[in-house]
């Protein structure tokens, strides 16, 4: 009995195993095999897409390699072009103004052999920008000075702005040294020609200014001899005044010529001493009263103090006042008036010489203190040497003073001389 039961149990186990095997096979087939197939199909599709993309990327890479090669060729071409271009060119960074590249022409211009000696150097080490010549163009041009190891050259620096938002810029250098030097030589030649013409006119004027008073004095002496024999005192005084007036003109002219010669050779130096400006000026004015009256001109002397002491050169001050008053007399019409006014202030002394004469033109005032300058625009202009005001200005400046002119044609002239008191030793 027991063995039969054993077989039954064994058969049962085998049957259960077969059922489980069938069930597992069906389950695997239905639940595992179908999803794997779908997954495999999906992977195959994606692999095909990846293959297509890979092929496309490969083609793009080929195109990119060709483009990079073309760019390198163009870069080499441009670099070679810039390097051997006859005009100096530099590439700079606009962030720090340092040189990024320079061609051979620029290196030759600054006498440098190796490009490495220039790269990353500040642009202002070689180029000093002076003035801008921008005429509302897209490019900016500067007049500049280029410094090398041995010399300085005048150049034009043109910024070639190729992009609106840029970090770098090209500068084209044009050497204008020969042009600038030629212009300077041309100006120098023209200046020499003008100076020579003025010198010729000056010598002609000097000859006239020397000859005329000498002839007048000589004639006056001859006439005085006649009136002396006749005891005609009034006529003698008249011609004596004429002789004196012409002597003053000669003294003024010779002093100006001597002073101008010393000024040109830097030999004229002031002998400063403590003098009374009021007294000295009044003495000169008094000596010129007869000269003024003979020309129907009234001289008035005013001051706000009786004494005013400054460290000045006595002879210089005499020549300054003599020149200015005699000029006023010369260019003041009949019944004219000349006022000499001295104003003593705390820190300075001002001397005003005011007349109601013919005045000066605006053009002449600008060059009144220049050598050989004469007012050709004034209607009442008279012959002269053109050195009086030049000498006066130099004499004033040698004593630390200043001189100023205010005038209009037909409205007279006001000359102001200012001397500081800072050099006065109490």
- DSSP output for 163-212: -SS-SEEEEEEEE-HHHHHHHHHHHHHHHHHHHHHHHHHHHHHHHHHHHH
For the CA atoms of 345, 351, 353, 359, what is the dihedral angle to 10 degrees?
-90
CA distance 224 to 240: 8
CA 189 to chain centre: 23
Report the alpha-carbon distance of residue 328 to residue 415 in Å, rounded: 10
| Spatial contact of 188 and 368, defined as CB atoms under 8 Å apart | no
Determine which helix (DSSP H) or strand (DSSP E) holds 61, and give its type and residue range. Answer: helix 34-84
If residue 112 lies in a helix (H) or strand (E), which one and from where to where?
A: none
Q: CATH: 2.30.33.40, 3.40.50.2300, 3.30.565.10, 3.30.2310.20. Which one for 265-420?
A: 3.30.565.10
Distance of CA 250 to the CA centre of its chain: 43
Is the pTM here over 0.75, yes or no?
no
Measured distance CA(320)–CA(417) in Å, rounded: 10
Cα Rg for the chain, rounded, in angstroms? Answer: 51
- Distance from C-alpha of 70 to C-alpha of 386, rounded to nearest angstrom: 75
Measure CA 99 to chain center: 27
Would you mind telling me the total number of residues written for the chain in this entry?
426
Task: Give the span between the Cα atoms of 139 and 260, in whole angstroms.
Answer: 51
Q: Burial-class residue 59 by CB neighbours within 10 Å (0-12, 13-18, 19+).
A: exposed
Determine the pLDDT at residue 19: 63
CA 256, CA 202: separation in Å to the nearest integer?
A: 13
pLDDT in tens, the chain (426 residues): 445 556 566 666 676 677 666 666 665 555 555 566 666 677 787 778 877 887 888 888 888 888 888 778 777 766 676 666 778 888 888 888 898 888 888 888 888 888 888 888 898 888 888 887 765 555 688 888 888 878 888 888 888 865 556 678 888 888 888 888 888 899 888 888 877 776 776 666 667 667 777 887 888 888 888 888 878 888 888 878 778 878 877 887 788 778 877 877 788 889 999 999 999 999 989 888 888 888 889 999 999 998 999 999 998 998 899 889 988 988 888 889 999 999 999 899 999 999 998 898 888 888 888 876 665 544 454 556 678 888 899 999 999 999 999 998 888 999 999 999 875 554
* Burial of residue 400 (number of CB atoms within 10 Å: 0-12, 13-18, 19+): middle
C-alpha triplet 73, 79, 84: angle, nearest 5°: 125
How do strand 140-147 and strand 127-132 relate by DSSP bridges?
A: antiparallel
Q: CA 274, CA 310: separation in Å to the nearest integer? A: 5
| Nearest partner of 124 among 73, 90, 168, 150, judged by Cα | 90
> Cα(284)–Cα(239) distance, rounded to whole angstroms?
22
DSSP tag of 233 = H
Of 98, 101, 153, 160, residue with least CA distance to 125? 98
Distance spanning both ends of the chain, measured CA to CA? 162
The residues spanned by each domain of the chain are: 36-84, 89-175, 181-245, 265-420
């Amino acid at each position: 009995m027991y063995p039969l039961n054993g077989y039954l149990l064994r058969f049962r186990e085998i049957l259960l195993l077969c059922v489980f095997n069938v069930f597992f096979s069906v389950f695997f087939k239905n639940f595992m095999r179908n999803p794997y197939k779908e997954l495999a199909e999906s992977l195959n599709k994606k692999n095909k897409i990846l293959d297509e993309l890979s092929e496309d990327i490969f083609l793009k890479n080929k195109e990119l390699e060709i483009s990079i090669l073309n760019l390198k060729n163009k870069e080499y071409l441009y670099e070679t072009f810039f390097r051997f271009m006859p005009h100096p060119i530099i590439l700079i960074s606009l962030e720090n103004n340092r040189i990024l590249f320079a061609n051979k022409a620029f290196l030759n211009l600054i006498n440098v052999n190796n490009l490495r000696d220039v790269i990353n150097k500040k642009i202002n080490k070689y180029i000093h920008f002076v003035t801008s010549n921008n005429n509302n163009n897209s490019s900016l041009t500067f007049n500049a000075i280029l410094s090398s190891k041995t010399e300085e050259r005048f150049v034009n620096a043109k910024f070639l702005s190729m992009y609106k938002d840029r970090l770098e810029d090209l500068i084209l250098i044009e050497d204008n040294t020969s042009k600038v030097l030629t212009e300077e030589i041309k100006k120098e030649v023209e200046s020499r020609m003008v100076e020579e013409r003025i010198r010729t006119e000056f010598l002609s004027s000097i000859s006239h200014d020397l000859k005329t008073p000498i002839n007048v004095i000589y004639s006056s002496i001859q006439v005085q001899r006649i009136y002396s024999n006749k005891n005609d005192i009034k006529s003698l005084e008249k011609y004596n005044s004429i002789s004196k007036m012409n002597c003053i003109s000669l003294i003024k002219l010779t002093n100006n010529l001597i002073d101008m010669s010393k000024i040109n050779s830097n030999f004229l130096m002031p002998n400063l001493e403590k003098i009374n400006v009021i007294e000295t000026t009044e003495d000169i004015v008094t000596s010129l009263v007869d000269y003024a009256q003979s020309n129907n001109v009234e001289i008035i002397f005013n001051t706000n103090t009786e004494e005013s002491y400054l460290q000045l050169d006595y002879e210089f001050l005499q020549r300054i006042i003599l020149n200015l008053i005699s000029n006023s007399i010369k260019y003041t019409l009949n019944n004219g008036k000349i006022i000499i006014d001295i104003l003593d202030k705390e820190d300075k002394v001002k001397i005003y010489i005011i007349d109601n004469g013919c005045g000066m033109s605006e053009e002449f005032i600008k060059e009144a203190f220049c050598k050989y300058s004469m007012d050709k625009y004034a209607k009442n202009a008279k012959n002269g040497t053109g050195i009086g005001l030049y000498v006066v200005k130099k004499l004033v400046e040698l004593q630390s003073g200043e001189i100023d002119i205010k005038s209009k044609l037909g409205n007279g002239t006001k000359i102001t001389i200012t001397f500081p008191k800072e050099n006065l030793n109490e």
